[in-house]
Structure 1
Amino acid sequence: MANIKKGDLVQVITGAKQTRGGDRGKQGRVLEVFAEKNRVIVEGVNFVTKHVRVGQTQRGTKTGGIETVEASIHVSNVALIDPKTKTPTRVGFREEVVEKNGVKKTVRIRYAKKSGEDL
């Protein structure tokens, strides 16, 4: 089961500090998750320049040039943000029994563990 999912608010916990031009400490929403590669794309983090070849659209307008896009970052380099304290936290799972249409089923539910301020 994945600790981080699409739409989660995460914070970058490794890399260079923002004062040195890095992304550590930045927060953003997860746009995409690549589970097989253990990587995520976070909104506003890890920008790279991409050179796009010049082409034409159906209307005849030219496309191409240099674009900046968000690149993927390893899932171990981000931490989920606790919704209550707004600080990075670890993710835990607990099993609960859910009854639906008279059928009991055990499901795993993801929750944010206690942050450093709560301890």
Structure 2
Amino acid sequence: MANIKKGDLVQVISGRKQEKGGDRGKQGKVLEVLVEQNRVIVEGVNYATKHTRVGQTQRGTKTGGIETIEAPIHISNVALVDPETKKPTKVGHRVEEQVKDGVKRTVRVRYAKKSGKDL
């Protein structure tokens, strides 16, 4: 079971500090998880400029130019944010019994462990 999923609120825990132009300490929502590369795309973090070739659509509008997009960041460089304390925390799993339509199932559930100090 993955620790970080699409839609989670995460915080960048490594890299350059924000005062020096980096992203450490920034929080954002996970837009996409790239499982094969162990990377995530986080909203508002790790911007990169992408140059696309200028072309035309069938309607005649111009496309292309320079655009900024969020680049992937390694999954080990982000930590899940505890919804109560708004601080980065580790993720735990617990096994629970769930009853759905009269059928009992055993399910693994993620939960945020207590965050004592900043990671």
C-alpha distance after superposition, 1:25-53 (max 9, x if no partner):
00000000111211100000000011100
- Ranges of 4+ aligned residues in structure 1 off by more than 3 Å: none
Which residue does 2:14 correspond to in 1? 14
Instruction: In structure 1, list runs of 5 or more residues that go unmatched.
Output: none
Distance in structure 2 (CA, Å) of the matches to 1:23 and 1:58: 40
Which residue does 2:71 correspond to in 1? 71
1:11-90 to 2 correspondences below 5 Å: 11-90=11-90
Which residue does 2:108 correspond to in 1? 108
Aligned length: 117
Distance in structure 1 (CA, Å) of the matches to 2:90 and 2:47: 26
TM-score (norm 2): 0.95
Which residue does 1:96 correspond to in 2? 96
CA deviation after TM superposition for structure 1 residue 101, in Å: 2.2
Secondary structure at 1:76 match in 2: helix
Secondary structure at 1:107 match in 2: strand
Distance in structure 1 (CA, Å) of the matches to 2:102 and 2:65: 59
Distance in structure 1 (CA, Å) of the matches to 2:112 and 2:46: 25
Instruction: In structure 2, list runs of 5 or more residues that go unmatched.
Output: none
CA deviation after TM superposition for structure 1 residue 104, in Å: 1.3
Q: CA RMSD in A?
A: 0.9
C-alpha distance after superposition, 1:40-84 (max 9, x if no partner):
000000000111001111210111111110000011100000000
What letter matches 2:36 in structure 1?
E
